């Protein structure tokens, strides 16, 4: 069997060794070369023809973002970004996903934790899935932010400013994973400002990254988008993104839907988990729910959406052609609970149509 050929790009010799050792520990993978900056990487891609590239974001001479843009222009291939757990790292990583990176992995702040079994497992799993994914040149237009200033929390939670209501027709729950940050930018900005629904989103991401993603989506959308906080009352026309490392759950208090953040165990291998959100919504016994499952590896969300469907909710899945990874939608479709399978470009439109179901 042919091994998956990986090129490791990082300016730190220590990190190149650690990453290479983790990759080489799997018999299906082979490190064909290492590069210390983006410039070297571009040359080595031509000569070594790797199947997958792991790329550090911050490097001298030519950084990861510049190299990524050139790779996607000249010879698109799966690139997994390695990012630091910082605010700047989050912003740069979201840019990388816009430019066409397959996915990302966060580097621990402590060198002692660099080669933990969890990181090794995540890295190997993502490389294997990336190697089976056809990467094409990004053809979409990156949506420009409509405002530069982010809206402060008190502006969200004050009805007098938002002029929004806590009684609404539907609750919409959206769950993507791999490929999700980019896919959400093709869905959330197209949801009309006056939609008569509260919206919850779970995107598998570490803490800090979800805040940057929420601010980014808010800046380009008609509706408001914020990182969810414990005790947030859900308003119509506002989307609440689960923070990294917390499950988002919904309770009903005095006729209002209220967000409860749960820092418990992982559910379906994730925290935040799409299943955890869907279980919580299904437990409300409310049929006025629209569940949306989008691009992502694994099966998180499938069981939860079965419960939503059992309570007469409406379920939409992204189609295979428009997914980066079809795992999560495929698992949900297999359970026979999906009402409509649509392309990424049609999800927002389908949500609006489902408001009338």
Q: Which of 83, 177, 268, 280 is labelled catalytic?
A: 177
Say how far apart CA 110 and CA 18 lie, in whole Å: 13
- pLDDT at 163 exceeding the cut of 70: no
- pLDDT at 162 exceeding the cut of 70: no
Domain 4-131, architecture per CATH: 3-Layer(aba) Sandwich (3.40)
Percent of the chain with pLDDT over 90: 83
Same fold? 4-131, 153-354: yes
- Judged by average pLDDT, the poorest of 18-22, 27-31, 44-48, 142-146 is 142-146
- pLDDT at 143 exceeding the cut of 60: no
Distance of CA 256 to the CA centre of its chain: 28
User: Which CATH homologous superfamily contains domain 153-354?
Assistant: Methylesterase CheB, C-terminal domain (3.40.50.180)
- pLDDT at 284 exceeding the cut of 70: yes
Q: Which is more confident, 62 or 161?
A: 62
- Judged by average pLDDT, the poorest of 67-76, 156-165, 168-177, 255-264 is 156-165
4: helix, strand or coil: strand
Phi and psi at residue 30, in whole multiples of 5°? Answer: -145, 125
**What is the reported pLDDT for 110?**
67
- pLDDT at 151 exceeding the cut of 90: no
Say how far apart CA 154 and CA 160 lie, in whole Å: 11
Q: What is the 3-state secondary structure (H, E, C) of 250-295?
A: EEEECCEEEEEEECCCCECCECCCHHHHHHHHHCCCCCCEEEEECC
- What are the residue boundaries of the structural domains of the chain, listed by start? 4-131, 153-354
- pLDDT at 104 exceeding the cut of 50: yes
Mean pLDDT of 279-288: 96
Mean pLDDT of 167-186: 96
- pLDDT at 148 exceeding the cut of 50: no
Verify whether residue 177 is a known catalytic residue. yes
What are residue 250's DSSP bridge partners?
A: 259
What is the signed CA dihedral for 222, 223, 227, 233, rounded to 10 degrees?
A: 160
Q: Which of 186, 218, 300, 303 is labelled catalytic?
A: 300
pTM: 0.90
Q: Which is more confident, 254 or 162?
A: 254
Q: Which of 83, 103, 186, 204 is labelled catalytic?
A: 204
């Amino acid at each position: 069997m042919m091994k998956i050929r990986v090129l490791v790009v990082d300016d730190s010799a220590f990190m190149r060794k650690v990453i290479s050792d983790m990759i080489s520990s799997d018999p299906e993978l082979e490190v064909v070369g290492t590069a210390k900056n983006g410039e070297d990487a571009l040359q080595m891609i031509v000569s070594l023809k790797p199947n997958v590239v792991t790329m550090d974001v911050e490097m001298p001479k030519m950084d990861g973002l510049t190299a990524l843009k050139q790779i996607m222009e000249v010879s698109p291939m799966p690139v997994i970004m390695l990012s630091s757990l910082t605010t700047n790292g989050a912003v740069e990583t979201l840019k990388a996903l816009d430019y066409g990176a397959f996915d990302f992995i966060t580097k621990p702040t402590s060198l002692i934790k660099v080669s933990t079994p969890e990181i090794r497992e995540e890295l190997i799993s993502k490389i294997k899935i990336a190697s089976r994914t056809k990467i094409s040149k990004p053809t979409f237009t990156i949506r420009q932010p409509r405002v530069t200033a982010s809206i402060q929390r008190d502006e969200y939670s004050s009805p007098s400013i938002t002029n929004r209501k806590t009684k609404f027709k539907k609750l919409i729950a959206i769950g993507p994973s791999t490929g999700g940050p980019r896919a959400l930018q093709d869905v959330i900005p197209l949801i009309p400002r006056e939609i008569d629904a509260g919206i919850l989103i779970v995107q598998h991401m570490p803490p800090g990254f979800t805040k940057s993603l929420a601010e980014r989506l808010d800046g380009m959308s008609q509706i408001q988008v914020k990182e969810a906080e414990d005790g947030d009352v859900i308003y119509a026309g506002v989307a609440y993104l689960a923070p990294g490392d917390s499950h988002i759950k919904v309770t009903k208090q005095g006729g209002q839907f209220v967000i409860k953040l749960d820092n418990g165990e992982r559910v379906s291998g994730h925290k935040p988990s799409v299943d955890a959100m869907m279980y919580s919504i299904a437990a409300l016994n409310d049929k006025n729910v629209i569940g949306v499952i989008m691009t992502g590896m694994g099966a998180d969300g499938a069981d939860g959406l079965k419960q939503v469907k059992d309570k007469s909710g409406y379920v939409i899945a992204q189609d295979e052609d428009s997914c980066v990874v079809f795992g999560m939608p495929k698992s949900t479709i297999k359970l026979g609970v999906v009402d409509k399978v649509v392309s990424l470009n049609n999800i927002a439109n389908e949500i609006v149509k489902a408001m009338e179901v």
